[in-house]
Structure 1
C-alpha cells in the first residue's frame, strides 16, 4: 500500500482514468480494478481513523467542518 493517503488517492485517480479510457487489455483490467478497490479501502480506512481521532479530541461530539 502507499505510504500516505495522498499517494493512494493519486494512484486511484490514475487507475480510474485508465479504466475509463477503455484502453486497458482485458487481463490488466481485472488487476487494475482489484488494485483500485484496495486503494479505495485504504483511503476509507485513513479517513475513518482521522474521524475517530477528531471524535476523541471533541469529547465524542463530532462537529461540522468549517473553513471559516
Structure 2
C-alpha cells in the first residue's frame, strides 16, 4: 500500500493544498526522506523542493492561526507553556 500512496503524491500538483496539518507534516517527512536518500531523480528534485515549500508555508499558516486563537482565548497574553 505505501507504493500506492507515493504514486498518488507524485500525481498531485506541487501547489495543491494538503488535507490537514498532520497530512502536510507526513508528506514533508516523506519528501525529506526521499530527497536525502537519493530516491528522486534530478528531474523530480525541483518539484519536491517546490512541494516542500508549499507544505512549509501551509504548516506555518496553520500554526500562526492556532497561536492567534490562543491569544484571543487568553485575552491577548500568550502564556508560557510548561510541560506537566
TM over 0.5: yes
Aligned length: 68
- Show the counterpart of 2:42: 26
Could you tell me which runs of 5 or more consecutive residues in structure 2 were left unpaired when the two chains were aligned: 1-16
Alignment map for 1:1-68 (pairs within 5 Å): 1-68=17-84
Misfit runs of 4+, over 3 Å: none
CA-atom RMSD in angstroms: 0.9
In the alignment, the residues of structure 1 paired with residue 52 and residue 69 of structure 2 have an alpha-carbon distance, to the nearest angstrom, of 26
